[in-house]
Every structure is written in C-alpha cells, then in structure tokens.
C-alpha cells in the first residue's frame, strides 16, 4: 500500500512526487501551446481580414488541417451579396478554377495504378481520331499533365465562353486543329485545354462519361459532399455569387459563363473543408501509393533539363524557408483560389474567394509560416 499506519508515505513517495511534477509541467506545456495556437489563429484571422479588405473581396473561406485534423476554418464576408448570405467554410461552394486540374490528375493517377493508361503513350493510342499532324503524334499524358505538350491556352474571349457542352469530346474542337506552340517536351506553356484532352482519354479508357468517372472515383469515395461540376442550369445549394471589379473599382456581378467546355481544367466547385479532405487523402496511401504521389508532385523537366516546378496536375515548389509544398492555384470568372499542401508537416491550407483576379499570391505560404515557424 501507499500509506503506513501513521499516514506517512513509504517508498512510493518519490514516484508520486515525480507524477505530480510531470502532470504539472504537462499541464503548463498544454496550456502554453493552446495559448500559442490561439494567438496564431488570431494572427491568421487578422491577416485574412486585411487581405479581404485590400482586395475588395466579397467573401473568403479558409480551412487548415494539421496531421489530418481540422484545426481552423473560418468564413469572412458574404457568399452572395444580393441574398446577404455569409460564407461558411464547411459548405459554401466556390469556383475553384485550376484546382480542378489536381482533382482530375488524382483520378488519372488511379487509372495509372489500375493499368488503364500509360503516361508515355501517344494520345492517339486512346483517341485515334485526334489529329496527328506535325508533332501532335508526340503528345502524351505525361506532357499534357505537365503543360509541356505545346497545346495553347485561351484565345480571345474563350475564358468567357457561355456555350454548354454535353460531353468532353466535342470540347476538343475548340483547339485540336490549331498548331502546337512548340515541339512537345521542349518548353513549358500553361494550358487548360491540355486537361480537356486528358479528360477525353480518361473517359475513353473508363468507358463512362468524365463527370461520372470523377464522381465514382473521387467525389463519392472521399465523401466530398460540397464538390462537383459547376452546372449552370442546376440548383446547387450554397453556391456563391460570382463577382468582378469594374474599371471604377466597384464590385459587380461577373458575366455569365458556362465552364462545361473545360471541366477537367477549371470547371469544378468545392468548399474549403472539402478540399482539405481531398488534400489529406493525397497525403495517405489509401487513395494512391507513395510512388504514385511522388511521380505526380515532382517537378518535370523540359528537353533542356530545366525544371518546370510542375508535376502532373500539381505545382511543386519550396517556400521562403525552404519547405517543400505542392498544390494548385485557380482563377475563374468570379473566383480565385489556392490549395497548398506541406507533405512533411502534413499541413494543408485552403483559401477560396468569390471574385475574379484576386491577388492571393503567397497568402497560403504566409499562413503556413505563422503555424510552422
């Protein structure tokens, strides 16, 4: 027993004192770290408020996870100015622009693991009707996914297209007969249309429509309840309003567009916490293997051996402190977004807005420094 007849401690006294001291210092450590996190979240909130005001953004959603746990989620301002509805980081659906490329690439990775595609086959192997004139027979999924294939980006007012496409194959007509910008593999040239071609291949080998494939292989398995295509004719709960800034600096409604011409490269909606869920799946090995993740997030090189800082559907770089991150930014009509993933720290930061041409810049990396430094 711990006590003798006289009520004094026997041989367990040193152990009890150690336990008391250990508990006391553990309490102090927890209290200090809790206060530290609280201070950091206050700092983050202030930084986002400043960003929102300086960029004249109606609404911003931010979500942060650490080691798979949601540690911060906050909405700022309005999802819809006319309805006076506030941003909810869990449910508000923003146009995520080119983060759609990362969603698409993750399903392409699954098809690679299933043996359905070879990244180095010519695309005509899967789509025999795709033009092969000039150097187009050299276009591969690997080059398309890394913006090295030479396919052009938007011309003229294509970014503002408001025509509905019922399938990804007809949308290839927008660019497929245009000459390549350069020999495939020789230069990096960003192209959303390259992902149109990727989606056509994915759909063909899967034997089902691209959007159904995305639903079956990504959205449903990961439980992304607030993620899906930006169907203009559908009633979509919690979809934001879309805004731009006019020449006088006034925030006004964005022009109507239909993003069905580029589902794979810029046509999806999502919430901040859904994108965190997606990102955390990428950090694990249930969704894809570690080798596949490394392949898709490692910078490719052009023919001159110059790094592009882009893998397959994911940007890859380091921040000012030398920490490696991967992810994607997105620019839409009525939306600007950024997803940054720090694999070593298992830290994910998502920032979504409902206005065009917002200068998010390195905001995500600034927030990461507040947490990690």
Burial 219-252 (b: 16+ CB within 10 A, else e): beebebebbbbbbeeeeeebbbbbbebeeeeeee
Q: Rounded distance, CA 113 to CA 126, Å?
A: 17
Rg of the chain taking only CA atoms, in angstroms: 24
pLDDT in tens, 259-295: 999 999 999 999 999 999 999 999 999 999 999 999 9
Instruction: Please report the pLDDT score of residue 135 as a whole number.
Output: 96
DSSP, res 299? P
2 pLDDT tier (thresholds 50, 70, 90): very low
What's the pTM?
0.90
Residue 19's pLDDT band (boundaries 50, 70, 90)? Answer: low
CA dist list (Å): 286 to 92, 251, 282, 283, 289: 27, 43, 9, 9, 7
Position 17 scores a pLDDT of 54
Query: What is the secondary structure of 232-244 as a DSSP string?
Result: TTS--TTBPP-EE
- Per-residue pLDDT, averaged over 351-366, amounts to 96
**In the CATH scheme, what is the code of domain 55-336+348-372?**
3.40.710.10
Domain residues of the chain, as ranges? 55-336+348-372
Tell me: pLDDT of 34 over 90.
no
Chain centre distance of CA 303: 28
- Cα(238)–Cα(93) distance, integer angstroms: 6
Report helix angle 290-297 to 99-113, nearest 10. 140
Question: Among positive and negative, which fits the CA dihedral 18, 21, 26, 27?
Answer: positive
Asked if pLDDT for residue 224 goes beyond 90, the answer is yes
114 touches 150 (CB < 8 A): no
For CA atoms 154, 155, 157, 161, give the dihedral sign: negative
pLDDT in tens, 306-357: 999 999 999 999 999 999 999 999 999 999 999 999 999 999 999 999 999 9
Average pLDDT value for the chain: 92
């Amino acid at each position: 027993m711990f006590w003798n007849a006289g009520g004094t401690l026997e041989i367990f006294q040193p152990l009890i004192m150690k336990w008391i001291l250990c508990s006391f210092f553990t309490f102090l450590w927890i209290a200090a770290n809790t206060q530290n996190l609280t201070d950091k979240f206050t700092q983050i909130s202030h930084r986002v408020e400043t960003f929102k005001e300086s960029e004249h953004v109606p609404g911003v959603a931010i979500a942060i996870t650490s080691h798979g746990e949601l540690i911060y989620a906050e909405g700022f301002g309005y999802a819809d100015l006319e309805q006076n509805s506030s941003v909810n980081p869990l449910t508000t659906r923003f146009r995520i622009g080119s983060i759609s490329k990362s969603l698409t690439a993750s399903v392409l990775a699954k098809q690679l693991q299933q043996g359905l595609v070879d990244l180095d086959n010519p695309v005509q192997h899967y789509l025999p009707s795709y033009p092969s004139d000039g150097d187009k027979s050299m276009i591969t999924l690997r080059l398309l996914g890394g913006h090295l294939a030479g396919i052009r980006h938007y011309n003229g007012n294509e970014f503002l297209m408001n025509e509905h496409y019922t399938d990804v194959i007809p949308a290839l007509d927008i660019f497929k007969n245009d000459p390549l910008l350069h020999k495939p593999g020789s230069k990096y040239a960003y192209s959303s249309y390259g992902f149109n071609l990727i989606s056509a291949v994915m759909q063909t080998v899967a034997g089902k429509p691209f959007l159904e494939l995305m639903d079956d292989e990504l959205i449903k398995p990961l439980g992304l309840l607030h993620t899906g295509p930006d169907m203009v004719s559908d009633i979509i709960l919690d979809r934001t309003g879309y805004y731009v800034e006019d020449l006088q600096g006034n925030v006004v409604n964005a022009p109507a567009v239909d993003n069905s011409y580029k589902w794979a490269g810029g046509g999806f909606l999502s919430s901040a916490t859904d994108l965190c869920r997606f990102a955390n799946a990428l950090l694990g090995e249930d969704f894809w293997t570690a080798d596949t993740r490394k392949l898709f997030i490692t910078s490719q090189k052009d023919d001159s051996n110059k790094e592009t800082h882009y893998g397959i559907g994911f940007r890859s770089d380091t921040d000012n402190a030398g920490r490696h991150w991967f992810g994607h930014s997105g620019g839409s009509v009525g939306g600007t977004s950024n997803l940054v993933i720090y694999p070593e720290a298992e830290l994910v930061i998502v920032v979504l807005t409902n206005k065009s041409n917002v200068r998010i810049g390195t905001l995500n990396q600034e927030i990461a420094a507040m947490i990690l430094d």
